[in-house]
């Protein structure tokens, strides 16, 4: 019941790249157009580029809405978050121009195109969850921040307004000083001059470091926990696709899932290089690799593993391994291998048995997945 | 067995909101009144607003003290921290006006109203405990900070006083430079010009990052530990209100209490939405939900659970679930469910049995709480 | 074989406070003396204060060295770190005045008195160990910092020297810009103006955040680990002084030592207050407390415990407890108590048995230490 | 069985030090040469120094490539990363001078010599791995950073361009403001003046703290994890070189490997000093120490241990121990010793047996390594 990954026209990698290029070109053109003293010809060309980008997004929107309509989507495309983002990218600019907004200001709406990046950022949903989970402590720190902000602004207003009426002459001005100081930004446009004002300012700066520290700690802890959780879920699906690992008992699988690290590689990438020090072994979750051994290379497919010699005897890599198609690996570090096999010797034994077979000292059945194993004729080290 | 939430006159949600609105209006008016060049009429209106706010807090204080007197409170209301805060909000302003403080300065005391926020910040008590617990390392870092501050101020005073007498002409001035630099605020109003002075300043900046790092680390670690502890205590009370969880053996309950996450939702909120990916299940600690299944919706009450199909088979949510009253849930993530059930298969079995019953393949007694379970006629997926 | 804590004349608490006062007065006088435009009379008084402080430290040094000589110290006092610090506090100022250094500059050496604070900072030794332990990663980050610093300074020098020769006209000047930017201090005295220079500057700032992050993380992690280790060692000694805890089996003692928190209180301090919510219980490692129960208060001595009712039934504190002498407690939080007793039910049973005895429903022998227990006549709650 | 440390001509410690000195001299000369107003003679000398440094690196390159050619290296030396760095250090400067670049600019290429530091930084490879492992969350935070950067720049451009055309007159200028603000650098060269602009700026600063916090957390967590992993691998090799530790069962060895800390000391270094408090014991992984006991000192070699009395009875060190050759130790803290032996009493027993033998109350065979143990005639405490 795995969720199928649809790869239609509009979701291909090439198209995604094109979309990012259009986005980049649009933003660059928008920035360039604001530079004063631009000659009229360059300006015309930049406007042409902007219209082209807008046209691209408009046609994308049209295709998506039509395709969605055909596909009997559960909900109207224009009500999904993706649809709203696409609409926000296309409509506001012509509308602004129509109602008479000056062109320079209207084109600033190009910055709305940035919203298209949001779904592509894997960590954005993660960040949203972290903020949701840690909402209460973050809110507490924020209220403390606000209280310190206001109290210090009031104090500085009372102390400095007579000496520097143009800097601290009103509470909003004093608040501006407070926010630049409490965040340790320190523009230096408003600086207290009285002795007491400087004492308070120093305390506010030190307090700023503390607020900052709390903020950092809460976000960092939450982010780390969420990330670990997501990795676990992704790894779990991969672990269960490797028969060799799936057959361990449940607590062992849990433990291993925490230790393994996912690695995605494109076609023709070198995974390990002969002669380099080896500090991990690889399980193939999907894809295929070629092991460059003599007399002829060997292919290993999904469910198989390699790189175990480095873990067993600590020597350098004995062969170069290259992917033959986009592949996903589960990487087990030597430290984790040792820690894990200390409690679960069955994994070490199975790996050793397979390694012995590959060295040619054993004639047992290979442990690797059934279909690629039949392609392994002579994977023996000299 | 839900904990009853007392809602008297002065503790209602509406009144709390009103109090925050008054507080916000008062602060905004205080800020606006300090802006120079305000026309007299606006100014009069702002003063009226401020008096109204003050009147509100004064009447609140009066009601509270009278209610407290009737309720035979253990201690005098004016000696509790809440009473002192209320007094500080009301008395100082009229007193200041009486003794002849100019109105502008007197109204600055409105900032004392911010203290009313303190009890409402859940993390403030937490922060107090963290600082109490980590007092010794924090104090150490603070002393190191002070030593570096003074030594660098003395060094810069010795090096720069001849070149910039108006900036580094006295040790207090040099200390001001040191505090803005060590906190990496960097106003730029005093900048060393000699070669040696700049070398020392650079070292001080780098040291500032280190001090900052220590501060951050201590506060963050302490905050995280305290927060975990408080969550545990709150979750423990909720876990023991779910019979299904309470019946596990003690170590399992401890482990589960650490893994569960509390979720409070108001009436008519969607908990899970049909078709969305499911990555957690929910235990109802208090309240009630409606599961939108065909032919007619099913209601689940306190002690029941839902969302378990997503954990068992990894598919999308099969039904939308909506709260019918303010409810509290304990959320179990899929990763925690798997890790937990690896060591405690009895929970997985019980959940599976109930899931099987709900699918209609079993006629066993429901595991959910007694009184709402009788209302579940036909909760079967097609 | 515990190390005896000598408390002679020079190590008393009152004398330590006096020393800090003298230190503070000296530093304040040194600062005040540097303020230009001071009238001569004030100045004379400040100098008198400084000489008095110096005299105090000199006499302290004399007494210490004589006492040390009598006590047949293993090493010469002037060769210990404490002796060197004391010498550095006393000698340099008269020497500087003798060789003709102007008084203003000579008195700056008062800042050497700050070194006397170093032994009093509990975390300073800790910080030293953290830096020793984490020396390699800290050095790595520092070298990366230096490389980025120099490369960005060279780049900005090449790009900006023609436009701003007075700001970026030499590499040392450009380095000054780089260090203020990379530490995110940002004085603003040197700001790149070229497009490329600003691009590089922006990258440097972002890199600065990263360097900062690494630094923070390394120091924070190391500090937390060292602190935990030191707490463990201190708690271990206390735990073994409570017979009730010492008799648990070894793994349980280890686990409990990690969970307990040390609390030192002076005489006549309230430990728990009747009616307050109770979230922890207390073991008395040393000292004595008085439990304010009717008809007459009860005294508990070292080895005893109290506050267990709050953990067993979750209610508020039933009696106020006050220290009768300086005491040290080991505090066990309710969350830790529950987690611990889940794995080690023997502690829970022993605590419950004692609680039952105190409630008067059991006539067993008390579990508390022998000599204070005999003083507990009627500690029963109504 | 110590790992042999190869010390050829080009890898000796003296040569490495010389190389760093040359590097430092070159960088200093390059900096000095850029200072305006340098007299011609000094300048000539600096150029001579620079040519000498360049000559040094050129000859090093020549020797290395010739040696490599003789040693039948697997790959061409000029294609290794080390070879490329060496080439980049030597070639660009003469080439630049040849094609007519002004000498001042050409010598700036000396900064390329810094690349030679990269292989010497132990944490650089570590940092690379951390960034590789945490690439996805770091990229997410970076994209969020960019989005906030651009949106705030657009907002400030729209709000401030009329009031401050020379500061916010174009989007690139506004972006410059945004990057200095979001990183909390705050040069203060561009400061918003409108009320709304300042509101947005304040929000951006607070957001900057958040971004910073995420960044810090991700890097710190990753760095800590990688460091722990590397320590484990290094310790593992050392643990297996101590027979006393190697003979524990596998889970115990894993646990101990996590707890031990590596310590490298040169010849004639004091490891423990008589009379000091003892909080750890030492296993000798390689090298030799001399224990200063009466009547004559005792030597302990690789595989032996010392300092165990302090752990067993908590007293001060009974003898001073000094290294007689460069040695590597595994340090076990008292807290870790207690925690470990609680679960693995066999280690405690073995240590106690050996301690008893050393005290002279037992005639058992020593547990220390075979060859040095024969040199221990009379290691008994009085």
Tens of pLDDT, residue by residue over D347-374, are: 788 888 878 887 764 333 333 433 333 3
| Residues of chain D contacting residue B184, judged by C-beta atoms under 8 Å apart | 184
pTM: 0.77
Closest by CA to D156, choosing from D84, D121, D205, is D205
| Mean pLDDT value of segment D6-10 | 41
| Token pair listed for A347 | 């994994």
Split at pLDDT 50, 70, 90, the class of A227 is low
| A288-291: strand order across its sheet | A270-272, A321-323, A288-291, A298-301
Give the pLDDT score at D2.
38
Question: E-strand spans in chain C?
Answer: 261-265, 270-272, 280-286, 288-291, 298-301, 305-306, 321-323, 327-333
Q: Is A6 helix (H, G, I), strand (E, B) or coil?
A: coil
Say which range, A61-75, C104-118, D40-54, D302-316, has the weakest mean pLDDT: A61-75
- Give tens-digit pLDDT for B31-51: 888 888 888 899 999 999 999
Closest by CA to B167, choosing from C36, C46, A196, A202, is C36
What is d(CA D351, CA D309) in angstroms, rounded to the nearest whole number?
Answer: 9
Q: Which residues pair with A299 in a beta bridge?
A: A290
| Residues of chain A contacting residue C184, judged by C-beta atoms under 8 Å apart | 184
What is d(CA C307, CA C312) in angstroms, rounded to the nearest whole number?
Answer: 9
Check A170 against B105: CB less than 8 A apart: no
| Token pair listed for B331 | 């959320």
Extract the residue ranges of chain B whose pLDDT is less than 70.
Answer: 1-12, 68-76, 120, 122-124, 224, 227, 250-251, 360-382
Cβ proximity of A113 and A27 under 8 Å:
yes
Check B216 against A221: CB less than 8 A apart: no
What's the angle, vertex CA C71, arms to CA C66 and CA C75, rounded to 5?
Answer: 85
Compute the nearest-CA separation of C297 from chain B (Å).
Answer: 21
| Token pair listed for D111 | 């900064």
Closest by CA to D313, choosing from D376, D372, D355, is D355
- Give tens-digit pLDDT for D90-140: 889 999 999 988 888 888 888 888 888 877 676 667 777 777 777 777 888
Pairing mode of beta strands B327-333, B280-286: antiparallel
Give the pLDDT score at B114.
86
Say which range, A200-209, D123-132, D324-333, has the weakest mean pLDDT: D123-132
Give the pLDDT score at C69.
58
- Give tens-digit pLDDT for C39-62: 889 999 999 999 999 999 999 888
- Give tens-digit pLDDT for B107-146: 888 888 888 887 767 666 777 777 777 777 788 888 888 8
Task: Give, as one character, the DSSP assignment of residue C79.
Answer: G
- Give tens-digit pLDDT for B68-114: 655 555 556 777 777 888 888 888 999 999 998 888 888 888 888 88
What is d(CA C217, CA B296) in angstroms, rounded to the nearest whole number?
Answer: 55
| Residues of chain A contacting residue D157, judged by C-beta atoms under 8 Å apart | 34, 108
What is d(CA A106, CA D90) in angstroms, rounded to the nearest whole number?
Answer: 53
Instruction: List the single residue in A with minimal CA-CA distance to C181.
Output: A185
| Residues of chain C contacting residue D126, judged by C-beta atoms under 8 Å apart | 137, 140
Element (H, E) at C150: helix C135-160
What is d(CA D173, CA D170) in angstroms, rounded to the nearest whole number?
Answer: 5
| Residues of chain A contacting residue D73, judged by C-beta atoms under 8 Å apart | none
Give the pLDDT score at D307.
84
Pairing mode of beta strands C327-333, C280-286: antiparallel
- Give tens-digit pLDDT for D230-256: 777 777 777 777 777 777 776 677 778
Give the pLDDT score at C374.
35
Give the pLDDT score at D238.
78
Task: Give, as one character, the DSSP assignment of residue D316.
Answer: B
| Substitution target from B37, B188, B218 for chain D, most D beta carbons within 10 A | B188
- Half-sphere exposure at residue A21, Cβ-oriented, CA atoms within 13 angstroms: 8
Check A114 against D147: CB less than 8 A apart: yes
Q: B181: burial class by Cβ within 10 Å (0-12, 13-18, 19+)?
A: buried
- Give tens-digit pLDDT for C123-178: 667 777 777 777 777 888 888 888 889 999 999 999 998 899 988 988 999 999 99
Scan for tokens 């607020």, then name that residue: A211
| Token pair listed for B257 | 């209490």
| Substitution target from A186, A187, A202, A210 for chain C, most C beta carbons within 10 A | A186
Pairing mode of beta strands D270-272, C298-301: unpaired
| Token pair listed for C64 | 């210490």
Q: Which residues of B touch D (CB under 8 A)?
A: 184-188, 216
| Mean pLDDT value of segment A313-340 | 83
What is d(CA C138, CA C135) in angstroms, rounded to the nearest whole number?
Answer: 5
Name every residue whose Cβ is closer than 8 Å to that of residue A312 and which is 6 or more positions away in sequence: A351, A352, A355
Scan for tokens 């291909």, then name that residue: A12
- Number of neighbouring beta carbons within 10 Å of residue B358: 23
Q: Give the CA distances from residue A119 to residues A22, A225, B272, B315, D178, in Å, rounded to whole numbers and listed in that order.
A: 17, 22, 21, 22, 24
Instruction: List the single residue in A with minimal CA-CA distance to B210.
Output: A209
Give the pLDDT score at A380.
38
Cβ proximity of D245 and D290 under 8 Å:
no
Task: Give, as one character, the DSSP assignment of residue D261.
Answer: E
| C249, pLDDT greater than 50 | yes
Give me the total of CB pairs closer than 8 Å, taking one residue from chain B and one from chain D: 8
Compute the nearest-CA separation of A195 from chain B (Å).
Answer: 8
3-state secondary structure chain B: CCCCCCCCCCCCHHHHHHHHHHHHHHHHHHHHHCCCCCCHHHHHHHHHHHHHHHHHHHHHHHHHHHHHHHCCCCCCHHHCHHHHHHHHHHCHHHHHHHCCCCHHHHHHHHHHHHHHHHHHCHHHHHHHHHHHHCHHHHHHHHHHHHHHHHHHHHHHHHHHCCCCHHHHCCHHHHHHHHHHHHCCCCCCCCCCCCHHHHHHHHHHHHHHHHHHHHHHHHHHHHHHHHHHHHHHHHHHHHHCCCHHHHCCCHHHHHHHHHHCEEEEECCCCEEECCCCECCEEEEEEECEEEECCCCCCEEEECCCEECHHHHHHCCECCCCEEECCCEEEEEEEHHHHHHHHHHCHHHHHHHHHHHHHHHCCCCCCCCCCHHHHCCCCCCCCC
Nearest to A188 among C184, C188, C216 (CB): C188
Give the pLDDT score at A6.
40
Nearest to B34 among A141, A170, A212 (CB): A170
| Token pair listed for A284 | 């193939």
Instruction: List the single residue in A with minimal CA-CA distance to D254.
Output: A339
Q: Give the CA distances from residue C379 to residues C290, C292, C320, C373, in Å, rounded to whole numbers and listed in that order.
A: 11, 9, 13, 11
C269 conformational bin, left if phi > 0, alpha if psi -120 to 50, beta if neither = beta
Torsion angle, CA of A249/A255/A256/A260, rounded to 10 degrees?
160
Q: Helix axis angle, B195-239 relative to B171-182, nearest 10°? A: 50
Give the pLDDT score at C198.
92
| Residues of chain A contacting residue B108, judged by C-beta atoms under 8 Å apart | 154, 157-158
Q: Is C328 helix (H, G, I), strand (E, B) or coil?
A: strand
Report CA C5 to chain centroid distance, whole Å: 20
Torsion angle, CA of C342/C344/C347/C350, rounded to 10 degrees?
90
Nearest to C219 among B154, B210, B253 (CB): B210
Share of chain B above pLDDT 70, in %: 85
| Mean pLDDT value of segment A73-79 | 64
What is d(CA B272, CA B310) in angstroms, rounded to the nearest whole number?
Answer: 11
Task: Give, as one character, the DSSP assignment of residue C194.
Answer: S
| D72, pLDDT greater than 70 | no
Scan for tokens 């690379």, then name that residue: D128
Nearest to B184 among C120, C185, C223 (CB): C185
């Amino acid at each position: 019941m795995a969720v199928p990954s649809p790869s239609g026209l509009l979701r291909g990698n090439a198209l995604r790249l094109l979309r990012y290029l259009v986005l980049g070109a649009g933003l660059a053109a928008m920035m360039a157009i604001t530079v004063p003293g631009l000659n009229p010809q360059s300006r015309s060309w930049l406007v042409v580029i902007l219209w082209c980008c807008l046209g691209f997004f408009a046609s994308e929107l049209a295709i998506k809405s039509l395709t969605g309509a055909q596909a009997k989507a559960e909900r109207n495309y224009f009500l999904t978050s993706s649809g709203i983002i696409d609409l926000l990218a296309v409509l506001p600019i012509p509308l602004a121009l129509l109602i008479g907004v000056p062109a320079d200001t209207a084109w600033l709406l190009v910055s709305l195109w940035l919203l298209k990046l949001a779904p592509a950022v894997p960590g954005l949903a993660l960040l949203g969850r972290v903020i949701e989970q840690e909402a209460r402590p973050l809110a507490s720190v924020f209220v403390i921040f606000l209280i310190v902000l206001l109290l210090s602004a009031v104090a500085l207003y009372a102390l400095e307004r007579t000496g520097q009426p143009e800097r601290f002459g009103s509470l909003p001005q004093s608040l501006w000083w407070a926010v630049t100081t409490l965040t340790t930004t320190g523009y230096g446009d408003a600086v207290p001059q009285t002795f007491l004002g400087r004492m308070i300012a120093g305390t506010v700066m030190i307090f700023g470091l503390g607020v900052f520290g709390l903020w950092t700690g809460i976000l960092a802890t939450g982010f780390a926990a969420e990330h670990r959780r997501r990795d676990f879920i992704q790894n779990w699906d991969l672990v269960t696709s490797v028969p060799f690992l799936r057959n361990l008992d449940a607590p062992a699988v849990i433990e291993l899932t925490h230790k393994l690290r996912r690695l995605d590689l494109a076609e023709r990438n070198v995974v390990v290089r002969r002669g380099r020090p080896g500090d991990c072994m690889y399980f193939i979750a999907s894809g295929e690799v070629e092991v460059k051994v003599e007399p002829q290379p060997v292919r290993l497919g999904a469910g198989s593993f390699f790189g175990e010699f480095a873990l067993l005897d600590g020597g350098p890599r004995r062969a170069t391994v290259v992917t033959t198609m986009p592949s996903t690996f589960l990487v087990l570090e030597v430290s984790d291998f040792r820690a894990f096999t200390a409690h679960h010797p069955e994994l070490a034994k199975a790996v050793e048995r397979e390694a012995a077979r590959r060295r040619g000292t054993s004639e047992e059945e290979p442990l690797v997945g059934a279909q690629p194993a039949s392609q392994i004729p002579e994977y023996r080290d000299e």
